[in-house]
Chains A and B, each alone.
Chain A
Amino acid sequence: MAESNDFLHNVADKDYEYGFTTDVDTEIIDKGLSEDVVRLISKKKGEPDWLLEFRLQAYRYWVEQKQPEWGHLNMPEIDYQDISYYADPTKSGNSGKSGEIDPELMKTFDKLGIPLEERMALAGTAVDAVMDSVSVKTTFRDKLREMGIIFMSISEAVREHPDLVREYLGSVVPYRDNYFAALNSAVFSDGSFVYIPKGVRCPMELSTYFRINARGTGQFERTLIVCDDDGYVSYLEGCTAPMRDENQLHAAIVEIVVKENAEVKYSTVQNWYPGDKNGKGGVLNLVTKRGHLRGANSRLSWTQVETGSAITWKYPSCVLSGDNSQAEFYSVAVTNNFQQADTGTKMIHIGRNTKSTIISKGISAGRSQNSYRGLVKVASSAQGARNYSSCDSLLLGSKCGAHTFPYMDVKNSSAIVEHEATTSKISEEQLFYCQQRGINTEDAVSLIVNGYAKDVINKLPMEFAVEAQKLLGVSLEGAVG
Chain B
Amino acid sequence: MLKIENLHASINGKEILKGVNLTIRDGEIHAIMGTNGAGKSTLSNVIVGNPMYEVTQGKITFNGHNLLDMKPDERANMGIFMSFQQPVEIPGVSMTNFMRAAVNARYKAQGREQLSAGDFLKLMREKRKIVELDTKLTSRSVNEGFSGGEKKRNEIFQMAMLEPEFCILDETDSGLDVDALRIVAEGFNKLRKPDTSAMVITHYVRLLDYLKPDVVSVMIDGRIVKTGDASLAEKIEKTGFDWIKEEVGL
Contacts and interface: CB of A to CB of B under 8 A. Distances in A.
Interface of A: 1-4, 427-430, 432-441, 443-444, 447-448, 450-454
B48 A443 contact: no
Interface of B is mostly: mixed
B37 interface: no
A451 B88 contact: no
Interface in B59-96: 71-73, 76-77, 81-82, 84, 87-88, 90-94
23 contacts: A2-B51, A4-B51, A427-B88, A429-B88, A433-B90, A434-B90, A434-B98, A434-B101, A435-B71, A435-B72, A436-B84, A437-B158, A438-B109, A439-B98, A439-B101, A439-B102, A440-B73, A443-B101, A447-B93, A447-B98, A451-B90, A451-B94, A453-B92
A437 B51 contact: no
A439 B91 contact: no
Interface residues of B, number: 32
Contacts of B84: 433, 436
B114 interface: no
Contacts of A436: 48, 72-73, 76, 81-82, 84
A444 B54 CA distance: 23
B96 to A, nearest CB: 11
Given A429-B88, A450-B93, 6 more contacts: A1-B51, A1-B52, A432-B50, A432-B51, A440-B73, A452-B91
Given A436-B72, A451-B91, A428 B52 contact: yes
A454 B87 CA distance: 23
A451 B93 contact: yes
B183 interface: no
Interface string B106-121: 1001000000000000
Contacts of B50: 432
Given A428-B52, A447-B97, A447-B98, A433 B88 contact: yes
Nearest to B11: A1
Contacts of A441: 73
B105 A439 contact: yes
Interface of A is mostly: helix
B207 interface: no
B88 A430 contact: yes
Contact of A432 (B72, B92, B93): B72
Contacts of A450: 92-93
A438 B102 contact: yes
Nearest to B102: A437
Contact of B92 (A1, A2, A433, A451): A451
B48 to A, nearest CB: 5
B162 A437 contact: yes
A435 B75 CA distance: 9
Interface string B154-196: 0000100010000000000000000000000000000000000
